Amino acid sequence: MSSPEYWTKPWPSSSAEKPPPPGSNQAAVAARPTAEQVIAGLRATSEGGPDLVQLLTPEGERVTHPHFDLDITPEELRSLYRDMVLVRRTDRECNALQRQGQLGIWVPLLGQEAAQIGAGRAMRPQDMAFPSYREHGVAWCRGIDPTDLLGIFRGTDHGTWDSQEKRFHPYTIVIGNQVLNAAGYAMGQRLDGKVGDGHQDDAEATIVFFGDGATSQGDVNEGFVWGAVYDAPVVFFCQNNQWAISEPMERQSRIPLYQRASGFGFPGIRVDGNDVLATLAVTRWALEECRSGNGPVLIEAFTYRMDAHTTSDDPTRYRLSDELEAWKLKDPIERVRVHLVRSQFADADFFAQVDAESDALAERLREFCINMPTPPADRIFSHVYSENSPVLDQQRDEFLDYLSKFEHAGGAL
Amino acid sequence: MAETTSRTATRSIDTTNRSGSLGSDEQPASTQKITIAKALNLGLRTAMERDPKVLLLGEDIGKLGGVFRITDGLQKDFGEQRVMDTPLAESGIIGTAVGLAIRGYRPVCEIQFDGFIFPGFDQIVSQLAKLQFRTQGRVKMPVVIRVPFGGGIGAVEHHSESPESYFAHTAGLKVVACGNPVDAYWMIQQAIASDDPVLFFEPKRRYQDKAELDTSVQPIPLHSSRVLQEGSDVTVVCYGPMVRTCTDAARVAAEEGHRVELIDLRSLSPLDLNPVFESVRRTGRLVVVSEAPGQSSITSEIAAQVQQHCFYSLQAPVLRVTGFDTPYPPTKLEEEFLPDLERVLDAVERSLRW
């Protein structure tokens, strides 16, 4: 999929100047980026490059692509718009709940709605998804109620959805671990005979989500190796949101991430991650490749994290406001809205209805969140093992007995 | 050792082919004399025959049969899909086993040598150990990780370590160590049948130890310790490769009039310490033996628990005989590092003299 010139032409080239020797007086001066570096950085984060797959421009115009196109009805378009608006509203409400002390932390997805809804809607019910911890949009597509996400961030649980039933693995906090787990799961799908010709109706694939920072992890690279050598039906879906907390892309890779796939022996595609149609088309194709035995595939969804890494983060310390402003012009929701209006696929009533639905969802989330009960203390000891554990049973009983003394004394815990 | 011993001559004692005193002089018709290595092979084969979801994953386990030949012949009989020669990356082996387990398989991973488990440590403690708790039992993790462990084989660095305490320290994991062919045969099958992740430590320098295996005798539960030899003077607790060392020590001690009660822990997490407590309450003395470094280890846990539960019964402080709190030394020094019969007997004597 990639042009050979990429291998001879560095892209982006932001490291033309050699760093000064350690301890040199130039160090303080060089710590400030040069004009060329600023421009290169902006290019790296705002331009997807010539191989970027796009079907809907930031101005809301439908364009074609020689390899990927999408036959989509106005109703489906409206549905994608609705998904993105509701997911963004979930995200903003949870961000606010964190600021008000109702959630311990929140991981914003603002700006990544198209990448997640596009990928999530490309899945069939039997496909399996392995998220990291920002995939609130994919969770939505898997039929997980947004309230199910709250336990993790309010600290009442580690995820309350049934991952086997929803076919959406629990959030994984350690960077990149889930990529190997997904590769193994996909190996199991192949062992079960769910891949390849003759099994098309019940064919399955796995999709795993990770960020640009995760591509530096050994587990992600090992996942690529395993996926490749076992022909596992797994789509590696990298949301390149340009920043791994404060570390920019240039701290992760010298080449565009999608090009790494060729080194592992499977296709890599860069898609406009702010374009829900392109993401849907490319992911649909990639999952089908996997279901028919041609996996794995790497997708790099080129997008941008509009908010902080988490609510504990302060992106104003490490990134330029110009960058943020440039990406605001590529907003994933606005371009669909413009397209719907221009094409007369939706009227004012539709947008009002989605807004009302969004308000109702936010209210429901808030009410649910502030009323979430703290689990009983014996939750600490439950399901550590599959069978009874006399050691833990004793620890639990002793601890509950200790707590009961406070209750008898009328004290509150 | 602060005290000297007069027993240097016993260093040359012949201890070949003597395992944990489980055999009897008479061989029933259903028994066979078998090594630990063969017992593991047979146990794996039996588990794979019983359950088609059992898969083996590891480096060189297929055609080669593993560097210790534990999986010898299994790929030939069960195929490449059930006995998978994997790429050389331990995190990959364990991380994909986690995924296979989610899918409903029962993977058995082979880590080639103890010191190579650390690239897979993150997957073990972050995912394998916690998924069941995280999902409140909705996702089971029936994964076994086989680890040939311990020293004494004259190997280079990273091939002789005893990392079991790292895993016993992690909730959600179970950790066991077999010390003789009979346990090897049964415990590997029990570990595979468990819905919990099990770190299965194999005493690599004892792989060729032989004993009689009678498959008609049903095994004790996986997480039970076993009294190998009853005695009333001092309790000795051990596991894995130290089982044979301590069996020999107990025999020599008996010749000198000391009746040692010998207990093989078998399970390191959970620990089955009730037999140890009962024994110490009778003997009043405890020596705990392991070749792992002693600091913050299985042996220190046992010492702590025994002082808590048997405080008024103790006639002497709990003594430990362990590897030193150093990196495993070069081969020419490993005999000095590893607890041997002399050091065990010295500790027994010190306990009795207290």
pLDDT by residue for chain B (354 residues), tens only, comes to 334 444 444 444 444 443 333 344 444 457 899 999 999 999 999 999 999 999 999 999 999 999 999 999 999 999 999 999 999 999 999 999 999 999 999 999 999 999 999 999 999 999 999 999 999 999 999 999 999 999 999 999 999 999 999 999 999 999 999 999 999 999 999 999 999 999 999 999 999 999 999 999 999 999 999 999 999 999 999 999 999 999 999 999 999 999 999 999 999 999 999 999 999 999 999 999 999 999 999 999 999 999 999 999 999 999 999 999 999 999 999 999 999 999 999 999 999 999
A202-231 residues touching B, CB cutoff 8 A = 218-219, 222-223, 225-226, 229
Decide: A106 and A311 in contact? Cβ < 8 Å: yes
Q: Tokens in use for A173?
A: 């906090």
Whether B97 contacts chain A with CB within 8 A: yes
B77 and B97 assigned to the same domain: yes
pLDDT at B185: 98
Question: How large is the average pLDDT for residues A100-123?
Answer: 98
Assigned domain for A97 exists: yes
Whether B221 contacts chain A with CB within 8 A: no
Q: What's the number of domains chain A is made of?
A: 2
A95 and A26 assigned to the same domain: no
B135 and B236 assigned to the same domain: no
Assigned domain for B219 exists: no
B258 is catalytic: no
β-pair type (B267-269, B286-293) = unpaired
pLDDT at B26: 47
Please say which residue of A336, A353, A370 terminates a domain: A370
Q: Which residue of B has its CA nearest to A160?
A: B135
Please say which residue of B180, B214, B248 terminates a domain: B214
B284 and B199 assigned to the same domain: no
B30 and B117 assigned to the same domain: yes
Residues of A with CB below 8 A from B91's CB? 180, 218-219, 222
Cis status of the peptide bond prior to B270, with omega within 30 of 0: yes
Assigned domain for B221 exists: no
SS3 assignment for chain A: CCCHHHHCCCCCCCCCCCCCCCCCCHHHHHCCCCHHHHHHHHHHHHCCCCCCECCECCCCCECCCCCCCCCCCHHHHHHHHHHHHHHHHHHHHHHHHHHCCCCCCCCCCCCCHHHHHHHHHHCCCCCEEECCCCCHHHHHHCCCCCHHHHHHHHCCCCCCCCHHHHCECCCCCCCCHHHHHHHHHHHHHHHCCCCCCCCCCCCCCEEEEEECHHHHCHHHHHHHHHHHHCCCCEEEEEEECCEECCEEHHHCCCCCHHHHHHHHCCCEEEEECCCHHHHHHHHHHHHHHHHCCCCCEEEEEECCCCCCCCCCCCHHHCCCHHHHHHHHCCCHHHHHHHHHHHCCCCCHHHHHHHHHHHHHHHHHHHHHHHCCCCCCHHHHHCCCCCCCCHHHHHHHHHHHHHHHHHHHCCCCC
Q: Which residue of B has its CA nearest to A191?
A: B81
DSSP label of B123? I
The amino acid that residue B347 corresponds to is A
Q: What's the number of domains chain B is made of?
A: 2
> A383 and B132 in contact by Cβ < 8 A?
yes
Average pLDDT over chain A, rounded to an integer: 90
Assigned domain for A50 exists: no
pLDDT at B2: 38
Among A8-12, A283-287, B64-68, the range scoring the smallest mean pLDDT is A8-12
pLDDT at A25: 52
Q: How far is B57 from chain A (nearest CA, A)?
A: 11
Split at pLDDT 50, 70, 90, the class of A54 is very high
> A222 and B103 in contact by Cβ < 8 A?
no
B131 and B243 assigned to the same domain: no
Question: How large is the average pLDDT for residues A280-304?
Answer: 97
Whether A152 contacts chain B with CB within 8 A: no
Question: How large is the average pLDDT for residues A315-336?
Answer: 93
Assigned domain for B256 exists: yes
Whether A63 contacts chain B with CB within 8 A: no
Residues in chain B: 354
In 10 A of CB A395, how many CB atoms?
13
Decide: helix, strand or coil at residue B269. strand
Question: CA A323, CA A316: separation in Å to the nearest integer?
Answer: 11
Whether B87 contacts chain A with CB within 8 A: yes
Whether A391 contacts chain B with CB within 8 A: yes
| Phi/psi of residue B175, nearest 5 degrees | -130, 125
pLDDT at A250: 86
pLDDT at B15: 42
pLDDT at A198: 60
pLDDT at A1: 39
Assigned domain for A13 exists: yes
CATH number, position A359: 3.40.50.970
A160 and A278 assigned to the same domain: yes
Question: How large is the average pLDDT for residues A272-283?
Answer: 98
**Proportion of chain A above pLDDT 70, given as a percent:** 88
Q: Which residue of A has its CA nearest to B270?
A: A391
Which of A13, A45, A105 is CA-nearest to residue A241? A45
* Best residue in B96, B122, B133, B277 for a mutation probing chain A (most A CBs within 10 Å): B96
pLDDT at A31: 62
Residues in chain A: 413
A297 and A151 assigned to the same domain: yes
B16 and B149 assigned to the same domain: yes
Assigned domain for A282 exists: yes
Question: How large is the average pLDDT for residues A376-387?
Answer: 95
A293 and A201 assigned to the same domain: yes
* Best residue in B94, B103, B173, B176 for a mutation probing chain A (most A CBs within 10 Å): B103
CATH number, position B251: 3.40.50.920
Assigned domain for B280 exists: yes
Q: How far is A156 from chain B (nearest CA, A)?
A: 11
Question: CA A156, CA A343: separation in Å to the nearest integer?
Answer: 46
H/E stretch holding B300: helix B298-309
Q: Tokens in use for B218?
A: 């049903």
pLDDT at A10: 38
Which of A361, A306, A281 is CA-nearest to residue A77? A281
Residue A298: strand pairing partners? A236, A268
Quote ipTM for the complex: 0.92
A115 and A6 assigned to the same domain: no
Which of B55, B78, B81 is CA-nearest to residue B146? B55
**Range(s) of the domain holding residue A344:** 74-370
Assigned domain for A68 exists: no
The catalytic residues of A are 305, 309, 318
Split at pLDDT 50, 70, 90, the class of A11 is very low
B139 and B163 assigned to the same domain: yes
Assigned domain for A397 exists: no
* Residue-wise pLDDT tens digits, B160-195: 999 999 999 999 999 999 999 999 999 999 999 999
Assigned domain for B288 exists: yes
A-B CB pairs within 8 A amount to: 130
pLDDT at A197: 73
Q: How far is A226 from chain B (nearest CA, A)?
A: 7
Question: CA A259, CA A268: separation in Å to the nearest integer?
Answer: 6
CATH number, position B129: 3.40.50.970
Question: CA A278, CA B282: separation in Å to the nearest integer?
Answer: 75
Split at pLDDT 50, 70, 90, the class of A409 is low
B233 and B111 assigned to the same domain: no
b/e for A141-156, b at 16 or more Cβ within 10 A?
bbebbbbbbbbbbbeb
Whether A352 contacts chain B with CB within 8 A: no
A23 and A122 assigned to the same domain: no
Assigned domain for B161 exists: yes
B160 and B267 assigned to the same domain: no
pLDDT exceeds 80 at position A323: yes
Which of B205, B233, B245, B240 is CA-nearest to residue B342? B245
Assigned domain for B98 exists: yes
Q: Which residue of B has its CA nearest to A173?
A: B126
Q: From the centroid of its chain, how far is CA A22?
A: 38
**Range(s) of the domain holding residue B290:** 226-353
B140 and B234 assigned to the same domain: no
pLDDT at B18: 39
Q: Which residue of A has its CA nearest to B126?
A: A174
pLDDT at B25: 46
pLDDT exceeds 60 at position A252: yes
A108 and A15 assigned to the same domain: no
A161 and A267 assigned to the same domain: yes
B44 and B123 assigned to the same domain: yes
Residues of B with CB below 8 A from A233's CB? none
A229-258 residues touching B, CB cutoff 8 A = 229
A132 and A242 assigned to the same domain: yes
Among A239-253, A341-355, B74-88, the range scoring the smallest mean pLDDT is A239-253
pLDDT at A321: 84
